[in-house]
Structure 1
């Protein structure tokens, strides 16, 4: 009986209508959260309260269906997205009346919008790619911090007398350099220092080239590369027969092709020798 119920729950979980319903409820939840930030009449507040109860109960049923439909329930909570969804649902059950946990419950209800990421596979791929790219990005960010620190120290030593609000110490200088890197009115800062030091444009040009052009493009390249790997992994999980060839597979194919070409060339050479032999007699 339980197996029959589980099969029905699996069909319900994989049903496109059910998936669209979950997405629709998440969107309604986002709209309800946004509506509460306005001054609403009493009738509208009571309606949002009822809507909040409906959303909470729906999410509780949805996470229960996913848990019961899972074949390996012992490993259900070993997946990060399942843990996140469960925590959001459980904490949403906390009453939002005047209590010490009311603020936490309201904040968690805001995070219900993030459930869109766990529901839509494409969004999960994006988040997983960003998380997996963090170790590689760490070295790029460390090198960028070193460049920031060096330029901030130089700017603080040279330009502090021109504008202490922007170059007073190394911390303020790093904030100013971040503003320059994002191109937020950076020309005003440059022209201010160029009135005193005409060569200071070299300082800004070199910094922008290293950060805005070189390092940021490196960050984008790393993220794109990890995203391609994540998309390939997702395709392989969905269609195992569409496995992409590895370098070892390509190497073996090249060796087999070379052996085939050598065999064909040797066969052609022996055929030519056979034709020449009667002529020589």
Structure 2
């Protein structure tokens, strides 16, 4: 798991005025109300960006731009506070780096020097992923599932290719618009995998080939339901593994704290046992 930098890490630094100020900043940026406020601003920013796409809000466009600039300013201030609180340790976390890149891009998009980046302002909404821990788990699971998804995708392409060759041989002469060559057949079969209009294609082919329903039914069962379930199974398995790792980490931290409490309790008992002896004349 990635390392998180909490107030206790900064508190271990020498108690200089700078260290105390950083500890206060860490307590500020890690306060629940601070995170909730940032989340609320991100949601409000999403609403204002969406309103700019409606023509009916053209008279309000200058105000919407002003609100957008205020949001960017607040995000930049928040980022500066977090960097000042954690120092160089801030950039040891991949999530913090992603958050920094998003905010920096938003600041550049708000300037006139990089007006072309204004179209990508909506990317700042991705900060929700970096702010909400549960979403981080989902993103990590998606990234970790990429190798498995690639393997399933290769199998899916092979299956589509095999069925495309078969379909071209069986129905290419009568329906060249669907199965004229292998690439046209693969495109048609991909459309069938999405279940978008596949019944119309099957009915057109079945008008000339009454037994073609066997081919389409087999392909839908194998190419759609089986492969789709494989994709879902891979993602679910990785999410469960991430959840198990998080739970295991919590248990380890809990056991460590309990062990420290036991040691501390034993020392307290030892001190209590010595106090009467020291108080005797």
Structure 2 equivalent of residue 102 of structure 1: 115
2: CA distance between counterparts of 1:42 and 1:190?
48
Which of 235, 251, 257 is the aligned partner of 2:247? 235
1: CA distance between counterparts of 2:125 and 2:184?
36
1: CA distance between counterparts of 2:241 and 2:166?
40
Deviation at 1:98, TM superposition (A): 6.4
Which of 127, 136, 141 is the aligned partner of 2:139? 127
Structure 2 equivalent of residue 50 of structure 1: 66
1:125-204 matched pairs, under 5 angstroms = 125-204=137-216
Q: After superposition, give the CA deviation of every residue in 1:75-102 in whole Å (9 maximum; x if it has no partner).
A: 5334332222211211222255766x31
2: CA distance between counterparts of 1:123 and 1:143?
29
2: CA distance between counterparts of 1:59 and 1:227?
30
- Residue-pair matches, total: 239
Q: Identify which range, 120-129 or 76-85, moves more after superposition.
A: 76-85
Deviation at 1:186, TM superposition (A): 1.3
Structure 2 equivalent of residue 254 of structure 1: none
Q: 1:162 aligns to what SS in structure 2?
A: coil
Instruction: Indicate whether 1:81 and 2:105 are aligned.
Output: no
Q: After superposition, give the CA deviation of every residue in 1:154-209 in whole Å (9 maximum; x if it has no partner).
A: 22333233333322332232221122112222122112112222221121121112
Deviation at 1:42, TM superposition (A): 6.3
- Is the 8 Å Cα contact of residues 181 and 208 (structure 1) preserved in structure 2? yes
CA 9–236 in structure 1, closer or farther in 2 if over 3 Å, else same: farther
Structure 1 equivalent of residue 123 of structure 2: 111
Structure index of larger Rg: 1
RMSD: 2.2
- Structure 1: which 5+ runs fail to align? 244-281
2: CA distance between counterparts of 1:222 and 1:188?
32
Return structure 1 stretches of 4+ with deviation > 4 angstroms.
Answer: 40-43, 95-99
Structure 1 equivalent of residue 32 of structure 2: 16
TM-score, scaled relative to structure 2: 0.77
Which of 46, 51, 54 is the aligned partner of 1:38? 54
Structure 2 equivalent of residue 90 of structure 1: 104
2: CA distance between counterparts of 1:162 and 1:238?
63
- Structure 2: which 5+ runs fail to align? 1-16, 256-281
Structure 1 equivalent of residue 276 of structure 2: none
Q: Identify which range, 42-51 or 113-122, moves more after superposition.
A: 42-51
Q: After superposition, give the CA deviation of every residue in 1:228-254 in whole Å (9 maximum; x if it has no partner).
A: 1111222334442468xxxxxxxxxxx
- Is the 8 Å Cα contact of residues 88 and 108 (structure 1) preserved in structure 2? no
Instruction: Indicate whether 1:219 and 2:235 are aligned.
Output: no
- Is the 8 Å Cα contact of residues 109 and 121 (structure 2) preserved in structure 1? no
2: CA distance between counterparts of 1:77 and 1:155?
54
